[in-house]
Amino acid sequence: MSPERFEIVRTAERLAAIGPDWTALWARSGALVFQSHAWVSAWWASAPDRERRALAVVLAWRGDTLVGVLPLATVRRKGFRVLEWAAKDCSDFGDALLADRANAGLLRRMWQHASRAGGFDLAYLNRLLPDAAARALLTPISGSTRLRLNHRDEANWRVRGPWPTGQAWFDAQSKKTRQNYRRGQKSMGEHGPLTFRLLGPEEPLGPILNQLTQFKRAWLATHNLPSTAFYDEGSQALPAMVRVLQETGLLHAFVLECGGALVAVSINFVQAGTMMAFVTTYDPAFERGSPGMVLMMDYIMWSIDRGLHTVDFLCGDEGFKGRFGTESLKLASMMGGRTPQGSAAHLVDSTRQALQQYIRKPTNVGTSAPEPSAQQLNTWLTTKDSCCTFL
């Protein structure tokens, strides 16, 4: 018999009650903020469409000690109840939280418990790093929903290298990149003194976030792109997540100001010696000066100068990430059907992908794309990929 007892959290009240235990486990584990109780709770409290969602967080207890959290939730999508990561829409990496990351058996028993409890047709767990503990669920256990690798992969680009200083990194960039940076600085400098800085811990974030969302909505409208929950009028999602970063001491918010006016902002956070770029945007009125690109290069140099070994662009395959990134990881996804409807949807999805691969024409090999302009880089910087919607 398993020495653990399992529980599934389905109410906001119970989610709040387990906060101290979950937070203690998270602090001991060194896991990313995306797996913290504060992050999941902030997402649930600010989700604008909770009527189609439900919590399904699996807990593993040994006595009174919490030893595992599988942060899951369901969402109704296209007629199916889909089981996914809790806070998936605002998390770049998904995973389980374990006191012992090597305890794959415990994780599989937690998944078995979730499968038997039901409440979903199809499971889709994505944004798995190569070392994600949740990959252990690809090995089946009796009585659980069988998960298989899905074709929806995402890229995770990072800047990592031997540069002793930020200036050394800058000098290692191509001539065109360095020229674009200086040209952007000069263009914006015509409107007033240009300043790059890290916001202080006592500076109010509210006005910055309000401008950030205004910039983002204006940019989306200009490019005829739909808004997201982060940027919808009246949405509290982004402020809630940023508040978590601030309260956990992880937040690093960088701004680029021209004559005292905000022209670009990047909401970042630091964990495990890594600068992680969460949200970046800029004032479309200054687009000619490529403020997003200038700000990004500034915070990369800032990070290297302060001994951070990596700048992580998080998930998404925007063009600028491959241009500046020096290493790329593949974020995998898993899918599995629990009910006949879910299994049928999984089969249709797999069949469609196989047909697309069969009819896809081969691409030319040996050709390389031209280096993008500063304006293209600036545009890519403000496009944060959302997860591929299933089916």
> Which superfamily, per CATH, for 162-308?
Gcn5-related N-acetyltransferase (GNAT) (3.40.630.30)
Length of the chain: 391
pLDDT at 85 over 80: yes
Cα–Cα distance measured from residue 40 to residue 21, given in angstroms and rounded to the nearest whole number: 14
Query: pLDDT for 312-349, tens place per residue?
Result: 999 977 778 889 999 999 999 999 999 988 888 888 88
DSSP 8-state code for residue 17:
H
Helices of type H across 199-267? 206-222, 237-247
Cα 353 off chain centre by: 25
pLDDT at 365 over 50: no
Query: pLDDT for 201-246, tens place per residue?
Result: 999 999 999 999 999 998 888 888 887 878 888 889 999 999 999 9
At 330, which helix (H) or strand (E)?
strand 327-337
pLDDT at 389 over 80: no
The CATH architecture assigned to 5-154+331-357 reads 3-Layer(aba) Sandwich (3.40)
The predicted structure's pLDDT at residue 363:
53
pLDDT at 252 over 70: yes
The predicted structure's pLDDT at residue 181:
97
Cα–Cα distance measured from residue 53 to residue 66, given in angstroms and rounded to the nearest whole number: 25
pTM of the model: 0.89
Q: What's the rounded mean pLDDT across residues 42-49?
A: 94
Write out the two tokens for 77: 């999508």
Between strands 122-128 and 80-85, the pairing is parallel
Q: Rg of the chain's alpha carbons, rounded to an integer?
A: 22
Same fold, 5-154+331-357 and 162-308: yes
Q: How confident is the model at residue 37 (pLDDT cuts 50, 70, 90)?
A: very high
The predicted structure's pLDDT at residue 319:
79
Write out the two tokens for 28: 């001991």
With a CB cutoff of 8 Å and minimum separation 6, the contacts of 390 are 77, 82, 122, 124, 152, 335, 349
For the stretch 204-220, what's the b/e string if a residue is b when 16 or more beta carbons lie within 10 angstroms of its beta carbon? Answer: ebeebbebbbebbeebb
| Residue boundaries of the structural domains of the chain | 5-154+331-357, 162-308
In the chain, the percentage of residues whose pLDDT exceeds 70 is 91
pLDDT at 387 over 70: no
Q: What's the rounded mean pLDDT across residues 179-186?
A: 97
